Amino acid sequence: MNTFKYTLVKKDENSNARLGILNVFGKEVPTPIFMPVGTQASVKFLSPQEIKEVGSHIILANTYHLWLRPGEGVIDKAGGIHKFMNYDGPILTDSGGFQVFSLAKRRKILEEGVHFRSELDGSALFLSPEKSIEIQEKIGSDIAMSFDECIPYPSDYQYVKDSTERTLRWAKRGLEAHKKENQALFGIVQGGDYEDLRSYCAKELVKMNFDGYSIGGTSVGEDKVTMYRMIEYAIKDLPEDKPRYLMGVGTVNDILEGIERGVDMFDCVLPTRIARHGTLMTSQGRINIKRNIYKEDFSPLDPECDCETCRNYSRAYLNHLFRCKEGFGMRLLSIHNLRFLLRLTEQAREALSQDRFKEFKKEIYQRYPYDERGF
Amino acid sequence: MNTFKYTLVKKDENSNARLGILNVFGKEVPTPIFMPVGTQASVKFLSPQEIKEVGSHIILANTYHLWLRPGEGVIDKAGGIHKFMNYDGPILTDSGGFQVFSLAKRRKILEEGVHFRSELDGSALFLSPEKSIEIQEKIGSDIAMSFDECIPYPSDYQYVKDSTERTLRWAKRGLEAHKKENQALFGIVQGGDYEDLRSYCAKELVKMNFDGYSIGGTSVGEDKVTMYRMIEYAIKDLPEDKPRYLMGVGTVNDILEGIERGVDMFDCVLPTRIARHGTLMTSQGRINIKRNIYKEDFSPLDPECDCETCRNYSRAYLNHLFRCKEGFGMRLLSIHNLRFLLRLTEQAREALSQDRFKEFKKEIYQRYPYDERGF
């Protein structure tokens, strides 16, 4: 039971896509999979039961946010994050690295770690590979991430090289610091848009023998062609028997392109964030429920969807709830968008099992015109 | 099946309290009962299933708010409010009178009705007894209210007399306008703090033979002694075979005092409104979950409560959710507070069935010191 193991079920004949099963210490996660984000130990508005009902098998929580509030000590005393938030499925935590580089103020990167100021109260904070591991161990997630620098795009070769080498040294320090049983640790492949640096980073991480490998430094402003190239560069030197996780990616396009290139795990705040602003993902593309045309539209949000929201509520009711700024509307739309993306990965797995992933992707693209913004 | 009928099960020997069953067109509502408020056709943050799980048997929706948004026409086209909001239990609508007097701007009361400006966009609006009935018929609630003036407190005798007489004329007009089958109509007893006017109003309404009687004009700033006297004045001339509804009342004290004086139905936004600000009603009195002392308190919100929140989450987790302004926290606290009040009425009914209501009330008061703010 107490194992962390990726089993490759089937490799696609026409692409690098793969069907697999990730055993997370006794809990099975079919891959490819999308992971809803529960930043503050809550997938916004949803109960743990609803998280499961939309088809989630694993969720993500943010180390940085939980470190600041309520503090890893509180979660540790609660008996770990599963007990704290009443969710017994697998939970992955990021390393805090991305938030340090996107949220924190007055950042100073040293070899020992990163000094910065809290965006909440301006207090002086320090995060290092060892500290990130310590926090994640106390949070008690099932899968932890190594501390890395999320490299801005574009950056020149020398900066990316130096940063990637530091990320590798940090990965090694994190690995040495990591002691917790029943918690897997992933290394993060950086290297920007440089093929040799991505390849070098991947190979060095593989030598350290992590439980899985993440692809970082994408979705930071680069165009889609570049992003997909980064994924290809990062993946080609990763072993077949370990899971690959593309961090922070969650549009329909990006998930399908990622799967095609061999990615097993995805996460993104997109479906729940846009839901809170009234935007929903449907089999006809994205729509905003606040538009006047839905005021007397008594059809479901998406006629092809099987979620609780689509089965029980009309566009007119959701339009009304959003006009009145009712929290129940945000809850219902979050349920729908998560179900939409989780159904997409379900369908992708089904297509893979039937040796028709390429056709499936083509069908999806024929229905939804390609859009840089994703849909 | 298609009847609206109050059945008196048992009268308390030591007070005017009564145990009953209200048959609302085939759906049975045990009384005394508290009704959660779903202002905008949504009990804020809660699903219809959760509304039932906390023990609700009937809920309230606001005519004024639904008239402005989405408009009664939209709800009518949806097939009525039950279909619109996906809730199949009994729904009571108020008349809009209270909101016209508390929210609307530049109000002008005429015999024909009330002219005023919308607080949303300043547009000119007009509500009359006939219009209120028309809106409620289109909303499709199970129980409708007559349009009345909610008299400010204090008001002089002549003002209260004139207003109460107009409310009686409005009640008659509403009764004549009301045509919808399977929708009960209640008259509203006004009369301020004047015994003869309350008595007169009650008697005149009874002559018109409404399906039930509401007590209006309380909770408008008067002290508790005055409020309880108003209830006594209003109830003493009401028939035993019709339900009595005390409008807008929802503290523990007021519910128990109301039950003792013969009230069957209560409603209030209090439990859900204070929940959204982190305040919860517990068997130890009110507490605010945001306080620092709960940061590492891993006990349930209320050890005596059987709600979903108390069964699954700690004070520390709720403290964290509220500090992070997470909507799931508001949802969990709303569930708890509603369950708390609904359990109170369940316990009151049980005490009535065991001929020990006075003792029950005393026990509750011994545990919670009397407080003008309620608890």
What average pLDDT does the structure give for chain A?
A: 95
- Contact state of B45 with A42 under an 8 Å Cβ cutoff: no
Taking the CA of residue B73 and the nearest CA in chain A, the distance in Å comes to 9
- Contact state of A298 with B77 under an 8 Å Cβ cutoff: yes
- Contact state of B327 with A331 under an 8 Å Cβ cutoff: yes
Alpha helices in B140-251 (DSSP H): 157-177, 195-208, 224-235
Dump pLDDT digits (tens) for B223-265: 999 999 999 999 999 999 999 999 999 999 999 999 999 999 9
Class of domain B4-268: alpha beta
Single-letter amino acid, residue B1: M
CB B96, CB B135: distance < 8 Å: yes
- Contact state of A78 with B314 under an 8 Å Cβ cutoff: yes
Is A267 among the catalytic positions? yes
Question: What 3 state SS string does B42-57 have?
Answer: CCCCCCHHHHHHCCCC
* B373, pLDDT greater than 60: no
Taking the CA of residue A320 and the nearest CA in chain B, the distance in Å comes to 6
Closest CA to A233 of A199, A264, A201: A199
| Catalytic hit among A12, A94, A148, A254 | A94
Mean pLDDT across the stretch B345-365? 96
Q: What is the pLDDT of residue A375?
A: 47
Half-sphere exposure for B375 (CA within 13 Å, toward CB): 13
Between CA B228 and CA B218 the distance in angstroms is 9
- Tell me the chain B residues in contact with residue A314 when contact means C-beta distances shorter than 8 Å: 78, 84
| Catalytic hit among B12, B142, B254, B267 | B267
Three-state SS at B7: strand
ipTM of the complex as predicted: 0.97
Mean pLDDT across the stretch B305-309? 97
Three-state SS at A124: strand
Half-sphere exposure for B247 (CA within 13 Å, toward CB): 29
Is B299 in the A-facing interface, judged by CB distances under 8 Å? no
- Tell me the chain A residues in contact with residue B44 when contact means C-beta distances shorter than 8 Å: 326-328
| Catalytic hit among A142, A193, A267, A302 | A267
- Tell which A residues from 117 to 136 touch B, by Cβ distance under 8 Å: none
Burial state string for A3-37 with b = 16 or more CB within 10 A and e = fewer than 16: ebebeeeeebeeeebbbbebebbeeebbbbbbbbb
- Residue B81: closest C-alpha in chain A: A317
CB B289, CB B278: distance < 8 Å: yes
* B372, pLDDT greater than 80: no
Dump pLDDT digits (tens) for A56-115: 999 999 999 999 999 999 999 999 999 999 999 999 999 999 998 888 788 999 999 999
Is A121 among the catalytic positions? no
Which one of A37, A39, A42, A76 would you mutate to disrupt binding with B, by most B Cβ within 10 Å of its Cβ? A42
- Contact state of B328 with A84 under an 8 Å Cβ cutoff: no
**Which residue bears the tokens 């743990």?**
A48
Three-state SS at B48: helix
Between CA A51 and CA A41 the distance in angstroms is 12
Class of domain A4-31+62-268: alpha beta
Q: What is the pLDDT of residue B206?
A: 98
- Tell me the chain B residues in contact with residue A320 when contact means C-beta distances shorter than 8 Å: 40-41, 69-70, 74, 84
Give percent of chain A above pLDDT 70: 98
| Catalytic hit among B12, B94, B142, B264 | B94
Q: Locate the domains of chain A by residue range.
A: 4-31+62-268, 275-363
- Contact state of A44 with B317 under an 8 Å Cβ cutoff: no
* A291, pLDDT greater than 60: yes
- CB atoms under 10 Å from CB of B102, counted, come to 13
Which one of B47, B269, B313, B322 would you mutate to disrupt binding with A, by most A Cβ within 10 Å of its Cβ? B47
Tell me how far the alpha carbon of residue B275 is from its chain's centroid: 17
Dump pLDDT digits (tens) for A306-344: 999 999 999 999 999 999 999 999 999 999 999 999 999
- Tell me the chain A residues in contact with residue B321 when contact means C-beta distances shorter than 8 Å: 40, 42
